[in-house]
Structure 1
Amino acid sequence: MPDIVEQHGVPVLVCEADGVSIGTVQDALDHLIGAAFTGAEVVAVPSPRLDDRFFDLSTGLAGDILQKFANYRLRLVVIGDIGRHLAASSALPDLVREANRGQDIWFLPDLDALADRLGPDGAGRKTG
C-alpha cells in the first residue's frame, strides 16, 4: 500500500517501485488517483511503474493520464531516471522541460528533489 507522507505541509502519496504497471488511463485511475483520495495532493510515481508507452508521446497515453490528474486537481511527479526515454524521443524533452517549469507535473530524479521543490524556497508551492 502506498504511503502518504507530508513534505513541507503538502501530503504526498509515495508509490512503491514494484507496484502495478500503469499502462492505461484506467490503471492510473485505479492505482494512482484512487489511492490519492485518502488525502494526498501530490502523487509521486517511480518511473519504472509507467509503461513505456507513457513516454512515447505519439501514443497519447501521457496526455490522457495527465489530463485525468488535472481533472482531479492532483499533481503528478514522475520520480527516477528517464534518460533512455528522453534519448529516444524528440518531443519528450520539451514536455519534461515545460512540465518542470510549472506546478502540476514534474519529472524529478528522486524524492529529495521533490522535497526541495515543495519546500519554502522551491518552485512548487501552490498558492490560493
Structure 2
Amino acid sequence: MEIKSHTFHEINIAELISDELIIKSEQDGLDLLGNLYYQGFDKVILHEKNIIPEFFDLKTGLAGEILQKFSNYRISLAIIGNFEKYQSKSLKQFILESNKTQHINFVENLYDALK
C-alpha cells in the first residue's frame, strides 16, 4: 500500500493506493485510522476497490462501525468510486446523507475527494 500525500488548503490528506483490499474488517479500519492519525493526516481518501464489498451492504453493519471510528477521531474520509452500481435504496440514502455532513463523502473522482 502506498500513501500519497496531498495538501489542499493547508490540510494534510492521505490518499491510499493499492491493488489489494485495505479494509476487510472493523479492525483494519481502526488500525488504518490510528496509523494515519499519528502520521499527521487530517483527512483520508480511499478507493472503493480497496474496501471489502460487504462494507456497501448496510445490513452487515461494517460501514457504520468503520465510519463511526472516523467520526469519533474527527478524521474526514472520502471514498472514491462508482456507487451507481449499487441498487440498495438504503445505501443510496446513506450516501446522500453522508455527503450532506461533508465529514464522510462518497465521490466519483480525486478532485471531488480533495475538495
1:66-88 alpha-carbon deviations (Å, 9 max, x no partner): 11111211111101212222x2x
Q: For structure 1, list consecutive stretches of 5 or more residues without a partner in the other structure.
A: 118-128
**Counterparts of 1:23 and 1:62 in 2: how far apart (Å)?**
11
What is the TM-score normalised by the length of structure 1?
Answer: 0.81
Shift of 1:111: 0.8
Give matches, 1:1-128, under 5 Å.
Answer: 1-30=2-31, 32-37=32-37, 38-85=39-86, 87=87, 89-115=88-114, 117=115
Q: Give 4+ residue runs of structure 1 displaced > 6 Å after superposition.
A: none
Residue pair 1:17, 1:45 contacting (<8 A) in 2 also: no
**Counterparts of 1:6 and 1:21 in 2: how far apart (Å)?**
22
1:76-122 alpha-carbon deviations (Å, 9 max, x no partner): 1101212222x2x120000111111112100011111123x3xxxxx
**Counterparts of 2:47 and 2:12 in 1: how far apart (Å)?**
17
- Say which structure is richer in helix: 2
Residue pair 2:21, 2:52 contacting (<8 A) in 1 also: no
Shift of 1:54: 0.5
Residue pair 1:55, 1:62 contacting (<8 A) in 2 also: yes
1:47-74 alpha-carbon deviations (Å, 9 max, x no partner): 1111111100000000000111112111
Letter aligned with residue 41 of structure 1: D
What is the TM-score normalised by the length of structure 2?
Answer: 0.89
**Counterparts of 1:83 and 1:62 in 2: how far apart (Å)?**
17
Q: For structure 2, list consecutive stretches of 5 or more residues without a partner in the other structure.
A: none
Q: Please, which moves more after superposition, 19-28 or 66-75?
A: 19-28
| Residue matched to 1:120 | none
How many percent identity over aligned positions?
35
Number of aligned positions between the proteins:
113
Shift of 1:34: 2.7
